[in-house]
Amino acid sequence: MFKLARQLLPQQPHILRRLPRFISTSDEAKSGDTIGGLPTDLVNEQKLKKTSRTLSTLQNHSAPIAARVTVSKDESRDFMAVFPDVVRDLTGVTRAYNCNDAANWFARVLQYNVPRGKKNRGILCVLTYKNLVPADQITPESLKLAHYLGWCVEMLQSFFIMSDDVMDNSTTRRGQLCWHRVEGVGLTAINDTLMVENAMFAVLKKHFSHLDCYVDLMELFHEISFITTCGQTLDQINSHRKVSEFTMDNYKSIVYNKTAYYTFYLPFALAMHLAGFKDAEAFRQSKTILLEMGHFFQVQDDFLDCFGNPDVTGKIGTDIQDNKCSWLAVVAMQRANAEQKQIMMDCYGQEDPIKVNRIKDLYKELSLPTTYATFEEESYNMIKTHIQQTSRGVPHQSFLQILNKIYRRDS
């Protein structure tokens, strides 16, 4: 499936040009000019303050960064209440082709894989729709359509991770065995991923084909699916490269394509279509902001993978061992001298715990936690500024709600 993505989509230069560069894309940091791509005087100012400010992503949170993009119990319950209808619709479509056994199997596939995660992407679609449409104009029927769109997003997510688990031959996912590891499944999981992917379009046809936005919804799912597979290909290609070959341009391409589009832009844009938005400029402005959020979110994850407390983040980071093109690795190579670059090349991508710890020590020697703290604060403020500058009818609160959930938990 991912072979198709080798014919990569052209970059969206109008988007990338609009994203301010906090980190230099050159191979070397320019001494006296920037530190890790940030203005030297800004970083030095932060150091001179000599504060003991704990990084916001590590401030005694009891859940990982991804888990902190949370929703209320009522929202989650309402979303889950629609899932049985989704399963009923899809098994009904399958039985219509005289495939009763396949319908029973597919119900098991859906129930095991689709509703097991945090469902943030799907619920984001619902919350965005509710923010975009005046409360007195939302009907039970239109709200249920938003829930159906959210479940289509969750099916797309399941399609991606089920495929990824087969490729990586992973063992567990979301606290249970990966689907292909379940007894009696095996490589049948490949066909199951295709069923899940195509199920999205069965739901769209059944519930949205009478709406003016139907074609826009279909095209958006096709586009984002292909973009994400392109990002997966970029990630796989770069994981086999030497750390000396990592660049910030490559890093951003991976982040935007593999994560930001389907995690942030897709749910938001679906809600915009359902809400009746037609203005291309409104979609363009939204895409720019949401890709910025996706980049911000991934840099946070990269930092936590290395420096987060596993008891807090909920996972043991392996980006160093996996030779990932991460924000930390790219900035380290930008800032390192010749001796430090050699340490990176000798130790990065190695399983040896001693070498892994040497990389972490080097990150500290290069003051990457300080650079990250500045990046985090400045990125948050920059995105807030961009939100305030939007002027095409999308309520600012729709963006701020997402940003604040990423930056710090809403209380």
The answer, yes or no, to whether residue 70 has pLDDT greater than 70, is no
pLDDT digits (tens, 9 = 90+) for 170-203: 888 877 889 999 999 999 999 999 999 999 999 9
Residue located via tokens 């930092």:
303
Q: If you ran DSSP here, which 8-state letter would residue 73 be given?
A: H
Write down the pLDDT at residue 28. 36
Q: How many CB atoms lie within 10 A of CB 66?
A: 19
Distance spanning both ends of the chain, measured CA to CA:
42
The question of whether 268 is a catalytic residue gets the answer: no
Q: Point out the catalytic residue in the list 21, 108, 116, 118.
A: 118
Separation of alpha carbons 325 and 320, rounded Å = 9
Which H or E run contains 173? strand 172-173
State mean pLDDT over 359-379: 94
Number of domains in the chain: 1
- Identified catalytic residue from 283, 297, 307, 399: 297
119: domain CATH number is: 1.10.600.10
pLDDT over 50 at 279, yes or no = yes
Cβ proximity of 127 and 143 under 8 Å: no
Mean pLDDT of the chain: 83
Phi-psi region of 267 (alpha: psi -120 to 50; beta: other; left: phi over 0): alpha
Span 199-240, pLDDT tens digits: 999 999 999 999 999 999 999 999 999 999 999 999 989 989
Active-site residue, 375 included: no
Distance from C-alpha of 375 to C-alpha of 38, rounded to nearest angstrom: 8
Q: Please give the Cα distance from 130 to 205 (Å, whole number).
A: 23
As a three-state string, the secondary structure of 232-296 is HHHHHHHCCCCHHHCCHHHHHHHHHHHHHHHHHHHHHHHHHHHCCCCCHHHHHHHHHHHHHHHHH
| Residues 84, 81: Cα–Cα separation, whole Å | 7
From the list 68, 121, 258, 341, the catalytic residue is 258
Number of residues assigned to the chain: 411
Confidence at 10, pLDDT banded by 50, 70, 90: very low
Q: Which tokens sit at 327?
A: 């924000």
Rounded CA separation 226/128 (Å) = 23
Of the candidates 280, 158, 278, the residue with the CA atom closest to the CA atom of residue 225: 158
**Mean pLDDT along residues 258-264:** 95
**Catalytic (active site) residue 164:** yes
How far apart (Å, rounded) are the C-alpha atoms in residues 150 and 262?
Answer: 12
Which residue segment(s) compose the domain that 259 sits in?
2-407
Residue 262, both tokens: 């389907």
135 pLDDT band, cuts 50/70/90, is very high
Residue type, 117: G
> Which residue carries 């390192």 as its tokens?
336
- The answer to whether the CB of 320 falls within 8 A of the CB of 356 is yes
**pLDDT tens digits along 291-312:** 999 999 999 989 988 988 777 6
Q: Which of 33, 168, 212, 279 is catalytic?
A: 168
Provide the percentage of residues in the chain whose pLDDT is more than 70: 81
Give this prediction's pTM: 0.79
Residue 314: predicted pLDDT: 61
- The proportion of the chain whose per-residue pLDDT surpasses 90, expressed as a percent, equals 67
Residue pointed to by tokens 């902001």:
289
Count of H helices and E strands in the chain?
18, 4
Q: Is 322 a catalytic residue?
A: no
pLDDT value of position 40: 46
Give the pLDDT confidence score for residue 313 in this predicted structure.
Answer: 64
pLDDT at 24: 34
301 catalytically annotated:
yes
**What integer pLDDT is reported at residue 171 of this predicted model?**
82
Q: Which pLDDT value is given to residue 278?
A: 95
Can 258 be counted among the known catalytic residues?
yes
